[in-house]
Amino acid sequence: MEKYDVVIIGAGPVGLTLSTCLARWGYSIKHIDNRAEPTHTGRADGIQPRSLDLLRNMGLKRKIMAHEPAKVYEVAFWDPSAKGIHRTGTWASCPNFIDARYPFTTLLHQGLIERVFIEDIEKHGVKLQRPWTITGFQNDGKDPNYPVEVSLAHVDGTHAETVRAKYLFSGEGARSFVRDQLGVKIHHKDPIAHVWGVMDGVVRTDFPDIKMKCTIHSDAGSIMVIPRENNMVRLYIQIASSTDPDWNPRRTATAEEVQKHAQDILKSYTISWDRVEWFSVYPIGQGIAERYTLDERVFMGGDVCHTHSPKAGQGMNTAFLDAVNLAWKIHHVESGFAPRTLLSTYESERKLIAENLLDFDARYAKLFSARIPSAGEVAGAASNEPEESDFVKTFKASCEFTSGYGVAYNSNTINWGPEHPAQHPLMLSLDQGTTKLRSGRILTPATVTRVVDANVVHLEQEIPLNGSYRLYVFGGEPGVTQTALRDLALHMGSPKSFYSVFAHRDQSRDRYHVRDNPATDFLSVCTVLNAKRAQIAIAEMLPEVFARYRDHVYADDVWDQRVPEAKAAAHAKMGLDERTGGVVVVRPDGYVGCVVKLVDGRGTCEALDKYFGVVTGRKLGDERASL
Amino acid sequence: MEKYDVVIIGAGPVGLTLSTCLARWGYSIKHIDNRAEPTHTGRADGIQPRSLDLLRNMGLKRKIMAHEPAKVYEVAFWDPSAKGIHRTGTWASCPNFIDARYPFTTLLHQGLIERVFIEDIEKHGVKLQRPWTITGFQNDGKDPNYPVEVSLAHVDGTHAETVRAKYLFSGEGARSFVRDQLGVKIHHKDPIAHVWGVMDGVVRTDFPDIKMKCTIHSDAGSIMVIPRENNMVRLYIQIASSTDPDWNPRRTATAEEVQKHAQDILKSYTISWDRVEWFSVYPIGQGIAERYTLDERVFMGGDVCHTHSPKAGQGMNTAFLDAVNLAWKIHHVESGFAPRTLLSTYESERKLIAENLLDFDARYAKLFSARIPSAGEVAGAASNEPEESDFVKTFKASCEFTSGYGVAYNSNTINWGPEHPAQHPLMLSLDQGTTKLRSGRILTPATVTRVVDANVVHLEQEIPLNGSYRLYVFGGEPGVTQTALRDLALHMGSPKSFYSVFAHRDQSRDRYHVRDNPATDFLSVCTVLNAKRAQIAIAEMLPEVFARYRDHVYADDVWDQRVPEAKAAAHAKMGLDERTGGVVVVRPDGYVGCVVKLVDGRGTCEALDKYFGVVTGRKLGDERASL
């Protein structure tokens, strides 16, 4: 019987992202999908700013941008007026108070996005098997190394096979065989269900905001306009709601009816269609799976676990992040970097986000159905005024959430907090104001100069999505921190440190050209110094532990508009002292794990050993350090 | 006999760029190359900042960047020291005083660049015919429409064909059959010839600047280091010079000899090669063709016309710009937009640049051979201090030149100047301080917000390389310029204006979705207003002439670090009044043609009619305007 590390069901965004990560990290994968081909038209299309960071970190952003997607920078709101409709205001979809590299939503047909992933997994030796479906599975433990048996069949029933796997993942979409078999219930947070009509096409119109994302309320109904690639426009129109007196979830509409409806809403502007690319009517309820896994062997993610209205464009983005969250945890468990219990954080972290998403979805629906924002409130959101209405506050919080930067995982074993078992006086925290970073949140972006080649780079992107923790050593002023850096390196070099315990065993292999993981696959190290690039001599100024990551030494010498007074902008943005620095641990998926003060002596390494001791489930650090 | 608009000999950078432009603009092309395949390894590899602008304008930049080229931001200088060599300083390869979008040199193997072009021309129906060569040609005028007869043959002599063409272009490289047949002499500005060795490979070394561009002088000789894609390094080493007492242009060296030489120069650092990708030794003289064309039917460009040392990385960049300069001029003559005399400006403009290049090449050689810069001078170049040594001045001028932004075409029919036949009191000029733009120089980059979709965009890239003039109407404050804009539109609408005279004749064709050329292929129009994006209502605020370019209306509302006090940064960067604006004419290749004041009444259109009257060789403007 064939054995695989992971069997993945479904080649939508969540399955493909998981497959891409694990294939790159060397896992054997069986990946099936019950469709004969990738998505042709329609479906999800919004990539949020945070997802763009992720795609870039995976090296896939450029291929997605090559399709010339539409970009949404602002959202326009239209309301009824005496003569038809009028614009009440616009606001940024990712306002300036969010520190985003790509402050826009990218709109591109899901099929094109899927193809980018498929090309990548094929490069890493995984061939999608389609159209195949799952017919059964059980975690029978008959083979302790490959405890899950999975039965698969061609959709036409002509072929079938049974394989064993370490893990089974369902990314099947809202209708999931795996979820049904597990008996996992869908919990409906908001009982209101809707029928939506969605139409992609090329239009001609005198409506001035046709290339903007718009929410339009009129006496004839409401509509959402979203620009697309290739001069297309997507319209979302609500066809029925379970709050209607004559509610029927099977209610439908023809393309012509939806066009007529859109024309009535947009009056006195005119609109007509040169071409309709895709049209669909589908009911959507707001639901969340009660569990994402029962046994930490069979996992689910994406639409299997959470469904909601398409309005906020969150579906695909949540799927990407579900997959990445699970991918690195499987990788760390299978690599011996973490205890099996790490896998429990997949559900606890991602279910919280899905719950937030559903809460947001309900608020968002209410916001646009019930309340018409005034121009004054809109201006308030943009100008960062101290006095804010509840509406503006809600909007701001929503922007952060919809851009993907609102994701904040709670404290747990990997996100340090005051309840974390690894308590140490050198731990820094947002609550105490000793850093601006918060555990469980994405690392703040910062622009720095790479020392070896003087390239101006995005620090947060410098370690690719390689499955490793990222240790950012902000070294402050080299003259000030010389001893601290030397001491940190010294203790990191001790055999039981977090750095040494997972060191490559095969020391005979030539790793001269290995850029990100020369010493260990457990983590990658970046050193950032508050000095001009030309003043930094890596070999002379840095201990060998840091110097061997020679492509990851940076000068914090690029001016930043967000901290105009800072000499070392990256230090300042992290809320670290520009002279004395600090050490930031970032999880493999880009979220901050913990922040530690950089001091002379053993303390800094001790604090890191404590944190990583909890993370890895090992006793780390030397004798005296553990006293 | 087959007829073509253009026959192109040679598929290096110059031939491919010409082919790409003309194929896109609908011309029939016969394109041959005597090599069986594109360049495999080695050859030119440096793309300068200005060339990157051009490639982006052609929509090819992303495909080139997808190959992950090396980027050079700084150049390091090493000199002999007591123990071997030491770094005397570094400086930016495109310093901050140059306003460049991409302030770095991009290093990528020529073959990969060629393939990006080849893919593009194939998409437009041109198939490279190889390995074929040219065997004869004559401008016999037997067919007045296709005056040039060209004989071609397969390199193995088995096949031959003769075709007729409107134009023949030689991009054959330094050894040109066409140039020889025409009897055009190569003029050697600097009699000194050199033999160069060049080696691409993967090295291991403790030399800290191996990923920088370096010029290294040691007691053992000199070397130039250039980083490459795929972790490779290129070394240039001078093997012989015609100033040597035993000068022999056939002198050569083995790879091992060059490696040994490099090791001696780099002492006490060590270097060894894991892999050599390419190694070549070749003699180079500094030469310039006395003519680029004799009859304005048979043209030459690229290395056919100018050869020089590889050190400054200018070869491919000059080739790109030769080709684009010629492409749009052929297009305008063949479209009836310009008189045949326009073609004479190809030689006059591009030969001047080649002469500047050769002057620079000679200065550059002297600079690095004879004079060792001190750290103090280097610092001076970076800090923009008022007191500058000759050396720093020379360096600055060189940076501008090597980045591609130093290109300044002299006044002629298309570059307005005080001697231009189109004199008008509303013409603005750098000399008089009424604009910061200079005719014959590239348009200053500026970031603005596109009104229809709120996208933050690079204004100078908004019109693709479509062969059209670009009319940038800087509208100042809409309240102030309302009448001026209305009057300009009114006069542009008159049948004999520069705008109307080349209007699309086939008015029945549906051009609703035509973005850049809805009214005419002669020019594209951008309107830039000093207002917040949300305050701009295109249909209400702009005359129909400007409003129909609805995707090309911009809000000048993005703050710019270079003009921090300006409210309308794009206006300010062009040196135009932020309230009253101005009109900038940019040539199809991105160089400023003329700048005109925007005023109420007929004056602005009158000045533009005068300028375009000279450009097009027509009497433009209405009766009264020409009085």
> What is the domain partition of chain A in residue ranges?
3-66+111-185+291-346, 186-286, 427-626
Are residues B288 and B355 in contact, defined by beta-carbon separation less than 8 angstroms?
yes
* CB of B375 less than 8 A from some CB of A: no
Dihedral of the alpha carbons of A107, A113, A114, A115, in degrees to the nearest 10: 140
Give the count of alpha carbons within 13 A of B466, CB side only: 18
A268 preceded by a cis bond (ω within 30 of 0) = yes
Interchain CB distance below 8 Å, B513 and A537: no
In this prediction, residue A157 carries a pLDDT of 93
Q: Quick one: CA dihedral A588, A592, A594, A595, positive or negative?
A: positive
In this prediction, residue B55 carries a pLDDT of 97
- pTM for the predicted model, two decimal places: 0.93
Q: With 0-12 CB in 10 A as exposed, 13-18 as middle and 19+ as buried, what is B126?
A: buried
What value does the mean pLDDT take over residues A9-25? 97
The amino acid at residue A546 is F
A89's enclosing H/E stretch is strand A84-92
Name which of B71, B231, B449 is nearest A513 (Cβ-Cβ).
B231
Least Cα distance to A587 among A441, A444, A389, A398 occurs for A441
Give the nearest chain B residue to A105 (CA atoms): B455
Query: In degrees rounded to 5, what are phi and psi of residue A239?
Result: -95, -35
* CB of A512 less than 8 A from some CB of B: yes
In this prediction, residue A371 carries a pLDDT of 44
Strand order in the sheet with A592-596: A427-428, A592-596, A582-586, A469-474, A523-529, A553-555, A447-450, A456-458
Interchain CB distance below 8 Å, A454 and B65: no
The amino acid at residue B606 is E
The amino acid at residue A508 is S
Interchain CB distance below 8 Å, B512 and A206: no
Interchain CB distance below 8 Å, B539 and A208: yes
The amino acid at residue A107 is L
Name which of A212, A449, A561 is nearest B453 (Cβ-Cβ).
A212
The amino acid at residue B341 is T
Name which of B206, B211, B534 is nearest A452 (Cβ-Cβ).
B211
Candidate from A455-464, A492-501, B63-72, B220-229 with smallest mean pLDDT: B220-229
How is residue B274 written in tokens? 């894991």
ipTM of the complex: 0.92
In this prediction, residue B189 carries a pLDDT of 77
- Using DSSP, how many helices (H) and how many strands (E) does chain A show? 16, 25
How is residue A357 written in tokens? 């998403």
Residue A383 neighbours by CB distance under 10 Å: 8
Are residues B149 and B137 in contact, defined by beta-carbon separation less than 8 angstroms?
yes
In this prediction, residue A560 carries a pLDDT of 96
Residues of chain A found within 8 Å of residue B513, distances taken between Cβ atoms: 202, 204, 231, 274
Are residues A146 and A166 in contact, defined by beta-carbon separation less than 8 angstroms?
yes
Give the nearest chain B residue to A537 (CA atoms): B208
Quickly name the fold that domain A186-286 has: D-Amino Acid Oxidase; Chain A, domain 2 (3.30.9)
State the nearest Cα–Cα gap between A512 and chain B, in angstroms. Answer: 8
Give the nearest chain B residue to A204 (CA atoms): B512
Place of tokens 């490459």: B228
Interchain CB distance below 8 Å, A65 and B62: yes
Interchain CB distance below 8 Å, A455 and B104: yes
CATH superfamily of B3-68+108-185+290-363: FAD/NAD(P)-binding domain (3.50.50.60)
Give the nearest chain B residue to A88 (CA atoms): B534
Residues B109 and A571: their CA atoms lie apart, in Å, by 37
Residues A438 and A593: their CA atoms lie apart, in Å, by 8
Residues of chain A found within 8 Å of residue B562, distances taken between Cβ atoms: none
**Beta strands at A29-32 and A3-9: parallel, antiparallel or unpaired:** parallel
Q: How confident is the model at residue A368 (pLDDT cuts 50, 70, 90)?
A: low
State the nearest Cα–Cα gap between A466 and chain B, in angstroms. Answer: 18
Give the nearest chain A residue to B225 (CA atoms): A453
The amino acid at residue B558 is V
Dihedral of the alpha carbons of A369, A374, A378, A380, in degrees to the nearest 10: -130
Are residues A12 and A319 in contact, defined by beta-carbon separation less than 8 angstroms?
yes
User: Per-residue pLDDT for A44 more than 90?
Assistant: no
How is residue A172 written in tokens? 């099947």
In this prediction, residue B390 carries a pLDDT of 58
Are residues B236 and B198 in contact, defined by beta-carbon separation less than 8 angstroms?
yes
How is residue B79 written in tokens? 């000199």
Mean pLDDT of chain A: 92
Interchain CB distance below 8 Å, A74 and B538: no
In this prediction, residue B71 carries a pLDDT of 96
Least Cα distance to B11 among B44, B39, B28, B33 occurs for B33
Find the radius of gyration of the CA atoms of chain A: 26
Interchain CB distance below 8 Å, A452 and B208: yes
Residues B28 and B105: their CA atoms lie apart, in Å, by 34
Are residues B581 and B476 in contact, defined by beta-carbon separation less than 8 angstroms?
yes
Place of tokens 């616009």: A90
B126's enclosing H/E stretch is none
Mutation site, B87, B455, B552, B561, interface A, largest A CB count within 10 A: B455
Interchain CB distance below 8 Å, B513 and A71: no
Are residues A195 and A243 in contact, defined by beta-carbon separation less than 8 angstroms?
no
Residues B65 and B102: their CA atoms lie apart, in Å, by 12
Quickly name the fold that domain A427-626 has: Glutaredoxin (3.40.30)
Give the nearest chain B residue to A225 (CA atoms): B453
Are residues A553 and A451 in contact, defined by beta-carbon separation less than 8 angstroms?
yes
In this prediction, residue B387 carries a pLDDT of 47
Interchain CB distance below 8 Å, B65 and A62: yes
Interchain CB distance below 8 Å, A63 and B66: yes
Find the radius of gyration of the CA atoms of chain B: 26
Kindly provide the b/e burial profile for residues B251-289, where b requires at least 16 CB atoms within 10 angstroms of the residue's own CB.
Answer: eebebeebbebbeebbeebebebeebbbbebebbbbbbb
Residues of chain B found within 8 Å of residue A71, distances taken between Cβ atoms: 453, 455
What value does the mean pLDDT take over residues A465-486? 98
Least Cα distance to B32 among B137, B170, B171, B129 occurs for B129
pLDDT < 50 positions in chain B: 371-376, 378, 380, 383-387, 625-627
CA–centroid distance for B278 within its chain: 28
* CB of B208 less than 8 A from some CB of A: yes
* CB of B101 less than 8 A from some CB of A: no
Residues of chain B found within 8 Å of residue A455, distances taken between Cβ atoms: 71, 73, 104
DSSP state of A369: H
Name which of A74, A206, A453 is nearest B454 (Cβ-Cβ).
A74
In this prediction, residue B409 carries a pLDDT of 96
Write out pLDDT tens, residues B99-155.
999 999 999 989 999 999 999 999 999 999 999 999 999 999 899 999 999 999 999
The amino acid at residue A506 is D
Mutation site, A91, A210, A455, A559, interface B, largest B CB count within 10 A: A455
Residues B261 and B240: their CA atoms lie apart, in Å, by 13
The amino acid at residue B353 is I
Interchain CB distance below 8 Å, A65 and B70: no
Residues of chain B found within 8 Å of residue A449, distances taken between Cβ atoms: 73
Q: Tell me if residue A491 falls in helix, strand or coil.
A: helix
In this prediction, residue B413 carries a pLDDT of 97
Query: In degrees rounded to 5, what are phi and psi of residue B96?
Result: -60, -25
Interchain CB distance below 8 Å, B274 and A513: yes
* CB of B510 less than 8 A from some CB of A: no
Dihedral of the alpha carbons of A127, A128, A131, A134, in degrees to the nearest 10: 110
A191 preceded by a cis bond (ω within 30 of 0) = no
Residues B486 and B600: their CA atoms lie apart, in Å, by 8
In this prediction, residue A627 carries a pLDDT of 42
* CB of B274 less than 8 A from some CB of A: yes
Angle at B536 between CA B530 and CA B539, to 5 degrees: 130
Interchain CB distance below 8 Å, A455 and B73: yes
Write out pLDDT tens, residues A55-110.
999 999 999 999 999 999 999 988 888 889 999 888 888 999 899 999 999 999 89
* CB of B211 less than 8 A from some CB of A: yes
In this prediction, residue A374 carries a pLDDT of 44
| CATH of range B187-284; options 3.30.9.10, 3.30.465.10, 2.40.110.10, 3.40.50.720 | 3.30.9.10
Name which of B62, B208, B537 is nearest A62 (Cβ-Cβ).
B62
Name which of B71, B208, B537 is nearest A208 (Cβ-Cβ).
B537
Quickly name the fold that domain A3-66+111-185+291-346 has: FAD/NAD(P)-binding domain (3.50.50)
Mutation site, B211, B212, B226, B512, interface A, largest A CB count within 10 A: B211
Residue B347 neighbours by CB distance under 10 Å: 22
Q: Tell me if residue B272 falls in helix, strand or coil.
A: strand
State the nearest Cα–Cα gap between A155 and chain B, in angstroms. Answer: 38
Write out pLDDT tens, residues A296-335.
999 999 999 998 877 667 889 999 999 999 999 999 999 9
Give the nearest chain B residue to A548 (CA atoms): B206
DSSP state of A497: S
Interchain CB distance below 8 Å, B455 and A73: yes
